[in-house]
A and B are shown apart, each in its own frame.
Chain A
């Protein structure tokens, strides 16, 4: 694994721009609710393809994504 992201579920507003930005389809919608009533996205890196490119974080309006890279 070259990188990973941490999603702050309380900040996420379910706009799904990170899903649109991610080229590796590593971010998926979820069914859980946060305290504001939105259903935040979650990071699903089963194949370990995340490169830590930060495109999702650049696109995220809520600054809910932190990116870590080797």
Chain B
């Protein structure tokens, strides 16, 4: 019998502080596996966000620099411009990327910086206790929208992939989820592709991951996986939004 699945070497093996059934831990593992497979552990630099994943540097066995709240893409831009041979990624949640940091994200994407962003979308502010986020879906109950999100009062959910894929500077934008084994494998492929494009110098790539948040959605982990299928992926459709490299190769 040989071992076919174990902890990736890019993770330290500390027990995650995330709640049971959280998608962050799965995303951490996938990023670790991709770093192992591409053999870039010695030259990858990560930028963790403020949010649930603020302690990501406790889990990744790679170089990491903590950014100010929302300024991950700006920090990553600086690192990449000074050290162009390194692989730089920022790991951000929806409160970090879509709320306070939307300007930095938008302009880093518009400038076509050669960085990768892993964007975890769980439709609430997880760390602060489940308040309404820009990505909260219409009618979703949170602690600051108890009757459900209302368009008159709160507006519409921000669709980051659709927004950024309209910009000229972006190269690769994909939205995936981690609610079933098949989707986890697809997410891993997307992350690997994003890192590969960065190594080839193709430009800005972003992978959005719809991630279950059972604690703040007030559901069991399995119910929250079903909720992503039934409701959340209707608002945030999965798929590749932009892939300039494949588009170049095809015709």
Residues on A lying within 8 angstroms of B by beta carbon are 3-4, 10-11, 13-17, 20-21, 36, 38, 52, 54-55, 57-59, 61-63, 65-70
Given the interface contacts A16-B222, A68-B3, does A55 sit within 8 Å of B29 by beta carbon? no
Cα distance A14–B22 in the bound complex, in angstroms: 12
B15 contacts A62, CB within 8 Å?
yes
By the criterion CB–CB under 8 Å, are A20 and B225 in contact? yes
Closest to B220 in A: A16
> Total interface residues on B, using CB and 8 Å?
29
> Which B residues contact A (CB, under 8 angstroms)?
1-7, 11, 15-16, 18-26, 29, 180-181, 184-185, 214, 220-222, 225
**Minimum CB–CB distance for A24 against chain B, Å:** 14
A-B contact count (CB 8 A): 75
A29 CB, nearest partner CB in chain B, Å = 12
What is the CA–CA distance of A32 and B185 in the complex, to the nearest angstrom?
32
Residues of B within 8 A of A13 (CB): 19-21
Complex Cα–Cα for A13 and B181 (A): 18
Whether A59 touches B15, Cβ cut-off 8 Å, given contacts A3-B1, A4-B1, A66-B6, is no
Smallest beta-carbon distance A43→chain B, Å: 14
Q: Are B222 and A58 in contact (CB under 8 A)?
A: no
Q: Are A62 and B225 in contact (CB under 8 A)?
A: no
Closest chain B residue, CB of each to CB of A1: B1
Assess the B4–A69 pair: CB atoms within 8 A.
yes
Complex Cα distance, B5 from A68, in Å, reads 7
**Additional pairs, 20, CB under 8 Å, beyond known A54-B5, A61-B24:** A3-B4, A4-B1, A15-B221, A16-B220, A17-B21, A55-B181, A59-B26, A61-B18, A61-B21, A61-B22, A62-B15, A62-B16, A63-B11, A67-B3, A67-B5, A67-B6, A68-B3, A69-B1, A69-B4, A70-B1
What is the CA–CA distance of A20 and B180 in the complex, to the nearest angstrom? 9
A21 to B222 Cα, complex, angstroms: 10
Q: Among B7, B20, B23, point to the contact of A63 (Cβ < 8 A).
A: B7
